[in-house]
Structure 1
């Protein structure tokens, strides 16, 4: 089974971005415990100096609908619930991308999808 994982990372090394402030999501595919970088998707952050923009939040969510997991440094209750309702698991961490992907492959797959 293969599936996509979206990662909110500012540097391509660590999971370190808040969902609402992520300007990009790095998309990996996990298949047979191997990780393949697929693409980087540009995103318009939904949280800014003027507060939260609901339409931008839904645009961010729609950007990730083909993913099974979203790895983020932090996420608010609203977007977390919407992603869950769409069958997408979120996991807050500050691990390296590699360690976070290993965690997903070992602990999340099979429990949620």
Structure 2
């Protein structure tokens, strides 16, 4: 059983869709979601992690610290290594809603959790 609302982090370029790659995100929008409503709480700035052929480990630590109080992070794309690091702090990496509207996606996710379709 989960207690709603849940906090969800979203990587978005423009604030309308889940449109940013995890490693390229410069900010995460933090939402409170229930099966019936979704509310933007704040925007948290981060240093982007992916620097082309290499990555910035200190930026990764900062991102993990920034999203650690969230149930899940919604991204357009995320690699296996970053997924493992996100999962290790108890946050789920969700990319199946890539390029879809933020609010619709978060409401769908919360409804799937409520119905038991989505594993915690």
The normalised TM-score by structure 1 is: 0.90
**Partner residue of 1:104 out of 89, 105, 109:** 109
Q: Which has the higher strand share?
A: 1
1:18 aligns with 2:25: no
Q: What's the CA shift string for 1:40-95, capped at 9, x where partnerless? A: 00111011246211121121111100000100000111111111122211111221
How far the C-alpha of 1:32 sits from its partner, in A, is: 4.8
Is 2:12–2:19's contact at 8 Å kept on the other side of the alignment?
yes
CA-atom RMSD, angstroms? 1.6
* SS of 2:64 mapped into structure 1: helix
Which stretches in structure 1 are left out of the alignment for 5+ residues? none
Partners of 1:15 and 1:108 lie apart in 2 by 19
* Match in the other structure for 1:94: 99
* SS of 1:40 mapped into structure 2: strand
The number of residue pairs the alignment matches comes to 113
**Partner residue of 2:67 out of 64, 67, 76:** 64
Which stretches in structure 2 are left out of the alignment for 5+ residues? none
Partners of 2:6 and 2:16 lie apart in 1 by 20
